[in-house]
Amino acid sequence: MSLLVVGTVAFDAIETPFGKTDKILGGAATYIGLAASYFTKEINLVSVVGGDFPKENIDMLNNHHINTDGLQIIKEGKTFFWSGKYHNDMNTRDTIITELNVLETFDPIVPEEYQDCELLMLGNLSPQVQLRVLAQLKTRPKLIVLDTMNFWMDIALPDLLTIIIKVDVLAVNDGEARQLSGEYSLVKAAQKILAMGPQYLIIKKGEHGALLFNKDQVFFAPALPLEEVFDPTGAGDSFAGGFIGYLAQTKDISFENMKRAIIFGSATASFCVEKFGTENLVGLTQEQVDDRVQEFIDLVQFDISLV
Amino acid sequence: MSLLVVGTVAFDAIETPFGKTDKILGGAATYIGLAASYFTKEINLVSVVGGDFPKENIDMLNNHHINTDGLQIIKEGKTFFWSGKYHNDMNTRDTIITELNVLETFDPIVPEEYQDCELLMLGNLSPQVQLRVLAQLKTRPKLIVLDTMNFWMDIALPDLLTIIIKVDVLAVNDGEARQLSGEYSLVKAAQKILAMGPQYLIIKKGEHGALLFNKDQVFFAPALPLEEVFDPTGAGDSFAGGFIGYLAQTKDISFENMKRAIIFGSATASFCVEKFGTENLVGLTQEQVDDRVQEFIDLVQFDISLV
C-alpha cells in the first residue's frame, strides 16, 4: 500500500545527559519516513524546508524510498528549528528555542501523483494544515493515522476536534490522552476519545510502552528495556513510522495486524533512542529489525493454557 | 509445594481519592497469604499480632488455608498499625501514622511443623527478623523469595545485603532497584543487583507492570489497564502472593514457569486494587482468576512469525 506522510522536516539541536549536538536533521515526517522505509518502498512526503536545507539530506531521504516531490523548498526562507534539553530522567525536557521559520506560512500542496495513496500518516503539525491536506485528497485513504500533541490541545482545540472526527487512528501520549478526555484512568480516557470519532486509539507511554484500543479490545506492547536511552527525540515518530510502514507492507488494516504493527513500531523506536537524532535510523538492516522484534517476542510471550 | 510466609499482619487506615477506611486488616503477610490461597492449600504463616487482633480475622485466614500456628499473639501488646493517604495520581502516598507496637520486639519463631516447607516467601520486614527466620530452618527451602523496600536500604543496608546473598528471588520496585544499584537504567540496575547474589530479580513498576530478570533473560508483564484503581495498598504483596502461590501449585521453579507465575501474580494484584484493603481478595472464585488471566493473555499476546 502506498503511503503519504505529512509532517515537519526540521533542524534540531539536542542536549541530553550523554552529550549535545549542533543542528542536526529532525522533524516528525523525517523520523516517520525513515522508520517506514524499513517496511515499504512507496513513501510520499508533504512538508516544507528553507533554502538552508542541504541537498544531501534530500538525497538521503530519496535513498530511503521517500519521494520528496511534495517537499516545498522555500529558497528565501529558513528551515524550522527546535532546540531542547532533556532532564536526567530523560522523561522530561525543556524547549530552549522554537523558530517556526518556513513552517509559519506553510501551505501544504499534495502533488497529483500522490492522490492514490492508500495510507495517510498525519505527523504532529497544526490541525489547520492537517485539515488542508485532507481537503485536497480526491479519494479518502483506506486508513488515516493522526499524531498530535498537547500544544494543539492548548491553542487549537476546535480545529483538532474537527480533524479527530475524520481520522481512523489517533496517536497521543498518556498525558495528552488525559488532557483530551479529562479522565485520569487511561481506560476511561480511551472510551471518551473513541467517542470523539476515531475507531482506534494509540496511547504512547514512552519507556512504559504503548496501548492500542478499539471499542471492544485493548492491546499492550512494552518498550524494550534498554541499557541506555541516549536521546528520546523522535521516538514517538519512529514508532508511528514503523507502525504505518508495517501496515503498508502487509496490506492489512485489521486490529490483529495493528497489534503486530505496534510491535514493529516499538522495535523501530527502540533503535531511534539508542543514538542521537536520526543517526540510528539511516542504516538498519532487515536482520537487525527482525532480531529486535524477536527480542520483543522473547520479552512478553508466555505460554498459559487455562483449562 | 508447601509454602512458608513471613511478614507483617497489621491494621491499616487508608485514605484515597475514593474514600477512607477505619482500621482494617492489612499487612504484607496477610495480602501474600490471601493471594497465594487461590493457588495452594498449604500456607504456613509466621507473624505477630497484639491482643486487639480479632479472632474473626484469624478464622478468615484459616478458612483461606493459612496455618496460623506460627502467628504469635502478644496478649498485652497492640497490633502493628499503619495509616496512609494516597495522592490523586495514586502513585504516591504520605504515611500519616506508623505504630510498630508488637512488631518492635518481634522475635519470629518457626514452628517445628513448618520445617519441611519447600518455598519461603519473606514479605517486607526488617532484614534482621528475616535473617532470624532463615537461621531457624534446618533444611534450606528449594526457593526463597525476598520482598523488601527503600526503608531498609536507608536504615539497615548491611543486614539487607547479608540476606540478599542468601535468597533466590529478590522483589523490589523500580525506585528501589535504582537506589540499591545506583543505576538509573533498569537493565543495568538488574545486572548489578543479580551480581549481589540472587538468581532472579523482579522489578515491580506498579501500574506500568513488572520485569523478571535472570542473568541472561528478561520477561515483562504489564499491569491490567483498569477503569479505576481504588486502593493500591497491598498490590505488591498480592502480586508476590500470586507469584509464589502459583509456583507452589505447579511445583516448578524454572524461569519459564516463573513467567507464568508473574502473570498470575499480576492478575491477583489487579483484583486487590479494585477495592479497599483485602476486601476483594477474600472471596474470589477460580473462574474469576482464570477470566482475569485470560484478559492478560488477550492484552499482550500477538502472533508474529519471522521468516
d(CA A132, CA B185): 43
Summarize pLDDT for A192-212 with one digit per residue, the tens.
Answer: 999 999 999 999 999 999 999
Summarize pLDDT for A242-283 with one digit per residue, the tens.
Answer: 999 999 999 999 999 999 999 999 999 999 999 999 999 999
The confidence band for A92, taking pLDDT boundaries of 50, 70 and 90, is confident
d(CA A147, CA A7): 10
ipTM: 0.92
At B118 the three-state DSSP class reads: coil
DSSP structure class, residue A224: P
For residue A172, give the C-alpha cell.
497521543
Residue B165 lies in a domain: yes
At A118 the three-state DSSP class reads: coil
Residue B99 lies in a domain: no
Residue B177 lies in a domain: yes
Chain A interface includes B252 (CB < 8 A)? no
Chain B interface includes A65 (CB < 8 A)? no
Residue B193 lies in a domain: yes
d(CA A74, CA A58): 14
What sign has the CA pseudo-torsion A53, A56, A62, A63? negative
What pairs with residue A44 in β-bridges?
A: A4, A67
Chain A interface includes B260 (CB < 8 A)? yes
The Cα of A104 is separated from the nearest Cα of chain B by a number of Å equal to 37
For residue A187, which residues of chain B lie inside 8 Å, CB to CB?
Answer: 225-227
- Give the containing element (helix H, strand E) for A200: strand A200-204
d(CA B110, CA B122): 13
Residue A255 lies in a domain: yes
For residue B263, which residues of chain A lie inside 8 Å, CB to CB?
Answer: 302, 304
Chain A interface includes B205 (CB < 8 A)? yes
The Cα of B88 is separated from the nearest Cα of chain A by a number of Å equal to 9
> Do the Cβ atoms of A249 and A39 come closer than 8 Å?
yes
For residue A242, give the C-alpha cell.
514503523
Describe chain B by its helix, strand, coil percentages, rounded to 5.
Answer: 40, 25, 35
The Cα of B186 is separated from the nearest Cα of chain A by a number of Å equal to 7
- CB within 8 Å: B294 and A306: yes
For chain A, the average pLDDT equals 96
CATH assignment of the domain containing B137: 3.40.1190.20
For residue B42, give the C-alpha cell.
498449604
B264: nearest CA partner in chain A: A304
Q: Is the pLDDT of residue B204 over 90?
A: yes
Pairing of strands A43-50, A24-26: unpaired
Note the pLDDT of residue B305.
87
Please compute the mean of the pLDDT values over residues A37-61 and round it to a whole number: 98
Identify the CA nearest to B246 among candidates B191, B293, B204, B283.
B293
Chain A interface includes B209 (CB < 8 A)? yes
Q: How far is CA A202 from the centre of its chain?
A: 11
Domain hosting residue A233, numbered range: 3-300
For residue B301, give the C-alpha cell.
499476546
The confidence band for B81, taking pLDDT boundaries of 50, 70 and 90, is very high
> Which one of A208, A211, A294, A300 would you mutate to disrupt binding with B, by most B Cβ within 10 Å of its Cβ?
A300
For residue B144, give the C-alpha cell.
526463597
Residue B22 lies in a domain: no
Tell the residue number behind the cell numbers 547474589, with chain if given. B197
Q: Is the pLDDT of residue A307 over 80?
A: no
Summarize pLDDT for B22-60 with one digit per residue, the tens.
Answer: 999 999 999 999 999 999 999 999 999 999 999 999 999
Output phi, psi for B247, to 5 deg. -65, -40
Summarize pLDDT for B261-274 with one digit per residue, the tens.
Answer: 999 999 999 999 99
Residue A307 lies in a domain: no
- CB within 8 Å: B304 and A256: no
- CB within 8 Å: A208 and B205: yes
Total of domains in chain A:
1
Chain A interface includes B221 (CB < 8 A)? yes
d(CA A262, CA A222): 10
Residue A26 lies in a domain: yes
Percent of chain B exceeding pLDDT 90 equals: 95
